[in-house]
A and B are shown apart, each in its own frame.
Chain A
Amino acid sequence: MPLYRTDAIVIRSMDFSESDKIVTFFTRDFGKLRGIAKGAKKSKKRFSNTLELFSYISLLFFQKENLGLARVNNCSIIKAHMEIYKDIEKMAYGSYFIELINELVGEREKNNEVFNLLVDSLSMVNGDKLGEEIARIFEIRLLSLVGYQPQLQGCLTCGHRLSNGEMFWFSSVKGGIVCNRCSHGQGNLSPISPGTLKILLLARDMDLRKIHRLIFSKQALMESKDAITNFIQYQMGKEPNSMKFLKKIHGLS
């Protein structure tokens, strides 16, 4: 029975039977992976707090064949992201990221770039950067990395290129933007200005290490949320739970 070691982030943790846990990891070398941690609920010594949501860990596991649950042997923590759960909004954004990964990435699909994106985004949420900005960056980058990249450079119908001053419309059904002329007669469009499109393109293509410098204007945040967040919901076929949660806590305050 081979033993593997990889970096991982805990994206779901579920109690199972008397003292076990079934944990979903997003790993650097094996993609999304489900494993069982025997005795995780009882023995605080063995896994201690490594199997908590958002934990960035070094994971050691056994795998019998290439199917079924992996058996978690040992974990040690790399980064615990302690700040995330001190703020309910940060926690909601962190949950949103792992929920999207859970929904949009298939099991055992290795994707190093998605892994780096998740690690960096969680560590940004753990820092001071505005959750909403990180969410927009995460969304557009994730969509590109998993193969749902929306067309943002020019009109999908007539090919009209992005130019200064002209408004465009985003269509979730078409997965991209259409120009003013081609937008007639189409339902469910949200307006998107060239400034917003430019910052989205930057967010998509910029070096991940420099991305924390990117700042969205209020308008850009709103427009890109209407376009991209809805596009994701259209692709998923439902509204993510953590998005609903965010709306509710924003409604409360």
Chain B
Amino acid sequence: MSFSCFGDSIDRLIDRLKKLPGIGEKTATRLAFYMLNSSRKEAEELAKSIIDVKEKVSCCSVCFNFSDSDPCKICGNERRDDKTICVVEDPADFLAIEKTGKYKGRYHVLQGVLSPLDGISPQEIRVKELIERLRGGKVKEVIIATNPSVEGEATAIYLAKLIKPMGIEVTRIAYGIPVGGDIEYTDMDTLSRAMEGRRKL
């Protein structure tokens, strides 16, 4: 329990805020005082938006992204390309790719990666649902955009082994040197993959 001298309601707010990721005692106290000093309207809006998120946002039944509606805006958008599906680990990765504006196809959110240490097997993530989607026959290419970590890589290769026999092209996002990077300081592994994945100018 924290040092208490403000009375129960402030302490309770601080305690609640402390539970949020990346927020410690000091930040929680600062946030609590900010809320205390802000107008009633502002506080109500914050409370309402938190409740809204919990009540309205659910999982899209097609791509398993977070969404207000089902199917979500992207799955419901007829102008997007039905022939490609981009597979990502979680909604944050979806957001990053969508922000680039380069990709016009559909998405599939796995909601995790395979991880033996955490006991996360193919049944725990949305693999079965992806395979079901592919059975429709519309899809020509699956782009696997999991993280280039050990788990992400293992998941990518596992999915490729499952999907290739269905006659669908499976591609992996490229590895390489970041824009503005420096070849001299790039690690050997990334550099050798960048050489392998080179392309014609």
Contacts and interface: CB of A to CB of B under 8 A. Distances in A.
Nearest to A16: B22
Contacts of A54: 150
A84 B190 CA distance: 17
B154 interface: yes
Contacts of B123: 248, 252
Contacts of B115: 95
Given A80-B189, A88-B114, A52 B119 contact: no
B116 A245 contact: yes
A91 B161 CA distance: 15
A45 B153 CA distance: 20
Nearest to A98: B117
Nearest to A239: B119
B38 to A, nearest CB: 25
A21 to B, nearest CB: 11
* Max count, chain B CB within 10 A of own CB: residue among A44, A53, A86, A91: A91
Given A44-B178, A54-B150, A245-B121, 9 more contacts: A53-B151, A77-B187, A85-B154, A86-B157, A88-B158, A91-B154, A99-B116, A245-B116, A245-B119
A77 B154 CA distance: 20
Secondary structure of the A side of the interface?
helix
B190 A88 contact: no
* Max count, chain B CB within 10 A of own CB: residue among A80, A98, A244, A249: A249
Interface residues of B, number: 27
Contact of A12 (B117, B121, B149, B182): B117
Interface in B5-22: 22
A77 B178 CA distance: 21
Interface in B182-197: 182, 185-190
Interface in A226-253: 241-242, 244-246, 248-249, 252
A92 B114 CA distance: 10
A125 to B, nearest CB: 12
B4 to A, nearest CB: 26
A78 to B, nearest CB: 12
B118 interface: yes
A83 to B, nearest CB: 11
B194 to A, nearest CB: 13
Interface in B43-64: none
Interface in A76-110: 77, 80, 84-88, 91-92, 95-96, 98-99
A66 interface: no
A45 B116 contact: no
A116 interface: no
Contacts of A86: 153-154, 157
Contacts of B188: 77
Contacts of B119: 241-242, 244-245
Given A18-B22, A245-B121, A85 B116 contact: no
B67 to A, nearest CB: 25
A48 B149 CA distance: 11
A188 interface: no
A86 B121 CA distance: 16
B128 to A, nearest CB: 10
Contacts of A88: 114, 154, 157-158
9 contacts: A45-B182, A49-B187, A50-B187, A54-B150, A80-B189, A86-B153, A87-B157, A244-B121, A252-B122
* Max count, chain A CB within 10 A of own CB: residue among B121, B151, B189: B121
A175 to B, nearest CB: 26
A242 B149 contact: no
Nearest to B182: A45
Contacts of B114: 88, 91
Contacts of B121: 244-245, 248-249
B153 A85 contact: yes
A249 B155 CA distance: 13
A164 interface: no
A249 B124 CA distance: 11
A116 B186 CA distance: 30
Interface string B118-140: 11111100000000000000000
Nearest to A245: B116
